[in-house]
Amino acid sequence: LEHVNELSTRQQMIATAERLFRRHGYHATSWRVLVEESGTPWGSIHHHFPGGKEELGVAAIELGSEQAAAFVAGSFARTETASAAVRLWFEKVAEALERSGWELGCPIATVALETVSSSPTLAQASERAFARTQGALVAELTAGGVEPDRARELATLIFSTFEGALILARVNRSREPLLLAGAQFESLVADALR
């Protein structure tokens, strides 16, 4: 029973951190706000994260990439063709973004940009996180019938656009960049399937 609690405290901190990092970024998220939002105890911070805030950042980024990869997989699971899956993915993300009041962007990008030039640890975590998400996309495209080399190329392109469109959509408070990209890549992937 306690084991559940222990897991829960650390996990709850990470989940809250992931949300706060998405919204306000790494530096603007303080431990104080984190414990207030998550309802977890101050005093256990150092116990659960002996590596300090950096360790929290790494954990949050990892959680974010897991969720992102799962989101990709979910879109492919719900559609018949890879091309439709890509479109659905972009559309669902656009919807979720709008529903959050344009607040919940990519859980990796903000922290990555803030820390890539100052914290090697977080920079590597960001790289791994992007690679994992992109890897999920490559796997799904290949499974969907795209030739492996082309799948890798396409995934890099699509994922780049995804990240950029997510930023533009958030700043412009508009789904358009994501929807446009979704439509464009639907046909591009369809071409690759022939």
Partner DNA sequence: ACAAACGGGACCACCCGTTACT
Partner DNA sequence: AGTAACGGGTGGTCCCGTTTGT
- The residues binding its own copies (CB under 8 A) are 23-25, 27-28, 102-103, 105, 109-110, 112-114, 116-118, 123, 126-127, 130-131, 153, 156-157, 159-168, 170-172, 176-177, 180-181, 184
Kind and range of the H or E element at 191? helix 176-193
Please state the separation of Cα 174 from the chain's center in Å. Answer: 19
Is 148 among the residues that bind DNA (CB under 7 A)?
no
Output the smallest distance, CB 173 to DNA, in A: 25
103: its two tokens? 């607040």
Contacts 24+ apart (CB under 8 A), 176-184: 178/90, 178/91, 178/93, 178/94, 178/97, 179/90, 179/91, 179/94, 181/90, 182/86, 182/87, 182/88, 182/89, 182/90, 182/91, 182/94, 183/87
| Number of residues assigned to the chain | 194
Name residues contacting DNA, limited to 89-128 (CB under 7 A): none
Contact code string over 6-25 relative to DNA, x by CB under 7 A: x--x----------------
Q: Which of its own copies, DNA, none is residue 45 near (CB under 5 to 8 Å by kind)?
A: DNA
Which residue shows structure tokens 């975590």? Answer: 125
- Per-residue buried b or exposed e for 55-86, using 16+ beta carbons within 10 Å of the residue's own CB: bbbbbbbbbbbbebbeebbebbeebeebbbbb
Output the smallest distance, CB 144 to DNA, in A: 41
Output the smallest distance, CB 165 to its own copies, in A: 4
78 or 172: CB nearest its own copies: 172
Name residues contacting DNA, limited to 27-46 (CB under 7 A): 27, 29-33, 40-46
The identity of residue 3, as a single letter, is H
Output the smallest distance, CB 119 to DNA, in A: 10
Is 47 among the residues that bind DNA (CB under 7 A)?
yes
Q: Which of its own copies, DNA, none is residue 177 near (CB under 5 to 8 Å by kind)?
A: its own copies
Q: Which residues make up the interface to DNA (CB under 7 A)?
A: 1-3, 5-6, 9, 27, 29-33, 40-48, 52-54
